[in-house]
């Protein structure tokens, strides 16, 4: 190097620092790249993504070639800086110390921190092109890297550390997947994001949250006269009806209305005909998660289930449509009697029946009423008052003003809700 000028030496030093920066940026970009996006790009045939994925499948060798190249470059740069110092100032210990400090600063700022910040910020832009360089280097320097990794593996064995298999550490649990979906709201269409969130929540929601309560189940008594049976069946808005004999606890089964349409035109509707067309009642225990029930519906080819408690008492009815609505939202094919329990008034308030489910109310009005206790608005109001409230009494549920409009049969029949602005809805306890 004695024949090289000082300017050339400074140019070589700058080039070595730049090369060190490339190694540092590549290392960080390779480690920070999104593995799922990388896999998708590789499956579409992106050459850089394929090389990057291949390198990441052998992380120990990848890190070996990057660190080997980086350390060699830094050592050569330190040697070159020493030669420059001797050329300029001779064998001065002070000059060598100052050059060492200056070179450390330059490497730290320009070859380590800054490139790694850039690599972490733009991993794909750096990792894909770097794959074209690192893969040939890995093949060229494989014997050296293999020799170094022998000592690395031996040291890890002594420390009782066993690295996970490639891809094992990137597996996601349900909570991690939920977090990813929640944080991706700005990158997904609104409807797609909502469906994904609802789907992940099926494991936390039970049939109790979406079922039709027992007192709202539309059923027919097989002991009624033929004319009443004909009228109930012909005017029903449901395709399946629960059938009981005498007491509502004496369930016989479920009637598919389509099976008896031909009998409605006869002179008399024979109860025996109804019994012959009944399906066996399908009972499910209260507290069954919706995801589990969805799989049960699928495996059993059922569309309707009767929810019972631990004593076998009927609590409600849940259908496949109820579960689908939790995922994709409400369908428009609802009976008129089911669409009137939420009505917007001219002053912006909502007139709500007490039997409405809190989950539906939260979704429809954008509220955050508690769901860990009562399932209906009536149940929540009675839980807060600990008594049957009088008409005209008001309270706040999570900063949402609610006024009692009508009570009937020891229950709140109708209430008026004044939804606040979105930023005013809190998660605090209800207050009177």
Give pLDDT tens digits for 269-285. Answer: 677 778 888 888 899 99
Whose tokens are 């009494």? That residue is 393
| Residue 211 sits in the same domain as residue 123 | no
Give pLDDT tens digits for 257-272. Answer: 888 777 666 656 677 7
Token representation of residue 144: 């050296």
Give pLDDT tens digits for 216-230. Answer: 888 888 888 878 888
| Residue 320 sits in the same domain as residue 346 | no
Last residue of a domain, one of 170, 192, 224: 170
- Please, which pLDDT band fits residue 135 given cuts at 50, 70 and 90? very high
- Please, which pLDDT band fits residue 165 given cuts at 50, 70 and 90? low
Asked if residue 185 is part of any domain, the answer here is: no
| Residue 225 sits in the same domain as residue 95 | no
What CATH number has the domain bearing residue 378? 3.30.465.10
Last residue of a domain, one of 124, 144, 170: 170
Give pLDDT tens digits for 308-327. Answer: 988 888 888 999 888 888 88
Mean pLDDT, rounded, for 77-81: 91
| Residue 40 sits in the same domain as residue 109 | yes
| Residue 16 sits in the same domain as residue 165 | yes
Query: What pLDDT, on a 0 to 100 scale, did the predictor assign at position 167?
Result: 54
Task: Write the DSSP symbol of residue 147.
Answer: H
The bridge status of strand 304-308 relative to strand 283-285 is parallel
Query: What pLDDT, on a 0 to 100 scale, did the predictor assign at position 296?
Result: 92
User: How many CA atoms are closer than 13 Å to the CA of 172, on its beta-carbon side?
Assistant: 10
Asked if residue 196 is part of any domain, the answer here is: no
| Residue 17 sits in the same domain as residue 44 | yes
- Please, which pLDDT band fits residue 154 given cuts at 50, 70 and 90? confident
Asked if residue 361 is part of any domain, the answer here is: yes
Using the CB atoms, write b or e for 135-156: b if 16+ within 10 Å.
Answer: beebeebeeebeebbeeeeeee
Query: What pLDDT, on a 0 to 100 scale, did the predictor assign at position 4?
Result: 74
Cβ-based neighbours of 425, under 8 Å, separated by 6 or more: 366, 367, 368, 398, 399, 400
User: How many domains does one find in the chain?
Assistant: 3
| Residue 138 sits in the same domain as residue 233 | no
Mean pLDDT, rounded, for 354-361: 83
| Secondary structure class of 153 (helix, strand, coil) | helix
Query: What pLDDT, on a 0 to 100 scale, did the predictor assign at position 121?
Result: 93
| Residue 251 sits in the same domain as residue 395 | no
pLDDT at 403 over 60: yes
| Residue 164 sits in the same domain as residue 26 | yes
What is the span of the domain harbouring residue 275?
205-328
Asked if residue 44 is part of any domain, the answer here is: yes
Query: What pLDDT, on a 0 to 100 scale, did the predictor assign at position 428?
Result: 42
| Dihedral sign computed on CA atoms, order 192, 198, 200, 202 | negative
- Please, which pLDDT band fits residue 411 given cuts at 50, 70 and 90? confident
| Secondary structure class of 80 (helix, strand, coil) | helix
pLDDT at 335 over 70: no
| Residue 321 sits in the same domain as residue 345 | no
| Secondary structure class of 310 (helix, strand, coil) | coil
Residues of the chain above pLDDT 70, percent: 89
Query: What pLDDT, on a 0 to 100 scale, did the predictor assign at position 114?
Result: 94
| Dihedral sign computed on CA atoms, order 75, 76, 78, 82 | positive
By CB atoms closer than 10 A (0-12, 13-18, 19+), residue 77 is buried
| Secondary structure class of 401 (helix, strand, coil) | strand
What CATH number has the domain bearing residue 254? 3.10.580.10
- Cβ atoms < 10 Å from Cβ of 306: 19
Give pLDDT tens digits for 45-61. Answer: 899 999 999 999 888 88
Backbone angles phi, psi at 389, to 5 degrees: -70, 155
pTM, rounded to two decimals: 0.60
Last residue of a domain, one of 328, 349, 377: 328
């Amino acid at each position: 190097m004695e024949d090289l000028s000082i300017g050339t030496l400074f140019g070589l030093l700058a080039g070595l620092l730049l090369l060190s920066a490339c190694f540092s940026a590549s290392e960080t970009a390779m480690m920070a790249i999104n593995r799922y996006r990388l896999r998708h790009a590789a499956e579409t045939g992106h050459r850089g993504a394929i090389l990057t994925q291949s390198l990441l499948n052998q992380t120990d060798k990848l890190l070996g070639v990057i660190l080997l190249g980086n350390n060699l470059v830094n050592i050569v740069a330190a040697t070159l800086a020493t030669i420059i110092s001797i050329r300029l100032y001779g064998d001065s210990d002070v000059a060598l110390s100052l050059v060492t400090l200056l070179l450390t600063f330059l490497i730290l700022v320009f070859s380590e921190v800054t490139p790694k910040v850039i690599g972490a910020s733009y991993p794909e832009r750096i990792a894909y092109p770097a794959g074209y360089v690192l893969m040939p280097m890995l093949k060229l320097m494989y014997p050296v890297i293999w020799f170094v990794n022998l000592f690395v593996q031996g040291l890890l064995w002594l420390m009782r550390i066993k690295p996970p298999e490639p891809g094992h550490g990137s597996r996601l649990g349900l909570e991690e997947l939920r977090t990813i979906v929640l944080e991706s709201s700005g990158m997904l269409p609104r409807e797609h994001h909502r469906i994904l969130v609802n789907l992940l929540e099926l494991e936390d929601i039970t049939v109790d949250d979406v079922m039709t309560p027992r007192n709202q189940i539309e059923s027919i008594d097989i002991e009624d006269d033929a004319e009443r049976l004909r009228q109930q069946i012909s005017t029903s808005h449901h395709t399946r009806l629960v059938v009981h004999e005498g007491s509502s606890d004496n369930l016989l089964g479920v009637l598919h209305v389509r099976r008896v349409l031909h009998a409605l035109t006869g002179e008399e509707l024979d109860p025996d005909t109804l019994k012959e067309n009944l399906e066996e009642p399908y009972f499910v225990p209260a507290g069954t998660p919706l995801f589990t029930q969805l799989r049960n519906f699928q495996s059993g080819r059922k569309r309707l289930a009767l929810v019972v408690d631990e004593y076998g008492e009927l609590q409600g009815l849940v259908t496949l449509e109820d579960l689908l609505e939790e995922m994709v939202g409400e369908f428009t094919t609802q009976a008129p009697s089911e669409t009137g329990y939420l009505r917007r008034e001219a002053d912006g308030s909502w007139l709500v029946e007490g039997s409405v489910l809190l989950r539906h109310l939260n979704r429809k009005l954008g509220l955050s009423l508690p769901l860990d206790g009562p399932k209906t608005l009536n149940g929540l109001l009675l839980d807060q008052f600990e008594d049957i409230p009088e008409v005209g009494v008001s309270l706040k549920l999570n900063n949402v003003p609610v006024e009692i409009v009508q009570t009937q049969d020891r229950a709140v029949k109708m209430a008026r809700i004044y939804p606040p602005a979105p930023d005013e809805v809190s998660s605090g306890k209800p207050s009177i």
